[in-house]
Amino acid sequence: MAATPPVLEKTDGEEKAASTMLRYADVGINFTDGTYNGFYNNRKEPSHPGDLDQVLNRASSVGVHKFMVTGSDLEQSLHAIEIAKQYQGQCYATVGVHPCSANAFERANDGGDQLLEELKKTAQQGARDGWVKAFGEFGLDFDRLGHCKKEVQERWFKRQLEVAVELQLPLFLHSRAAHNSFQSILKPHLSGLPRRGLVHSFTGTLTEMRELIDLGFHIGINGCSLKTEENLEVVKEVPLERLQLETDGPWCEIRPSHAGKKYLDGYQDPFRKVKKEKWEDEAMVKGRNEPVEIVKVAKVVSGIKGIKLDDIVEAAWSNSVGMFGLGSEEQCG
């Protein structure tokens, strides 16, 4: 019989560090993207081995304990659920069709009804089993009409909202350069959506943010929310009780050109970054965002608001865990 490994005693300093480590929930992470399996730029051969275990370990080392894996179409939603099953207590899934993918409904022979029904059943079963915590990502994106026409996006935003009323899950919403249409389509459904939800990766104006707050929604902040001085003014005014943090990895990292970067002066990355071709087990990949970088988002938000980092992080954690039912830190794997 194998020997029982010794129990290592923590020093007083280690106990204190463990008990005071900040808790983060990354509520917008695209672990279904091929880059976490080493695939980049639609190439058929991977640049490196899949490294989701290492990505999660790095995140855990800085206090990121919960992850909501985004479903952007039916296939990715099913994949997100599989990831949630693999990493129980850490990862959870969303189910929905992103506005840039709404053409999938139009391509269906029956006009999209069957795909919508499959989406609903997937969300229902996933929610019953505890894997699915939100309906989305869906909404409108008028910045990328080359992917999907405006009228198609609007039609399937409305149809998915009708499903959302049946599901009674919190929403995980996308709104880009489309606020007026977004609001006008959303409002008639709100009486049937008491749990509201999150407008993630927010890049809108101060007026738009306040209107969403008035409707009862939370605001998700990541690197894309911190690009310009106008963005920073919006973030400054997001009420603490409506703030959530995310990375939207592998995209939306904070870049040197971003206005928010000035709040990271003196910050040292906890891990080295290497090119994907020189992948190493313990290093991050340059240009691929991952949840460990949520610490940077929190630091920038703290600097913008002039509020202690601890207070920013704990408020965001409470908001995310409370809205989506992600459980407590003690349940983490």
Distance CA 29, CA 291 (A): 7
Supply the pLDDT for residue 276.
98
pLDDT, tens digit, 9 for 90 and up, residues 64-114? 999 999 999 999 999 999 999 999 999 999 999 999 999 999 999 899 999
User: Considering the entire predicted model, what is its pTM?
Assistant: 0.93
Per-residue pLDDT band at 20 (split at 50, 70, 90): low
Distance CA 126, CA 79 (A): 12
Percent of the chain with pLDDT over 70: 92
Supply the pLDDT for residue 328.
58
Taking each helix axis as running N to C, give the angle between helix 309-324 and helix 294-305, from 0 to 180 degrees, rounded to the nearest 10: 120
Say if residue 333's pLDDT is above 80: no
Give the distance, in angstroms, between the CA of residue 244 and the centroid of all CA atoms in the same chain.
9
Nearest to 83 by CA among 111, 56, 117: 56
Supply the pLDDT for residue 6.
35
| Mean pLDDT for the chain overall | 93
pLDDT, tens digit, 9 for 90 and up, residues 189-223? 999 999 999 999 999 999 999 999 999 999 999 99
**CA dihedral (83, 88, 92, 96) positive or negative:** positive
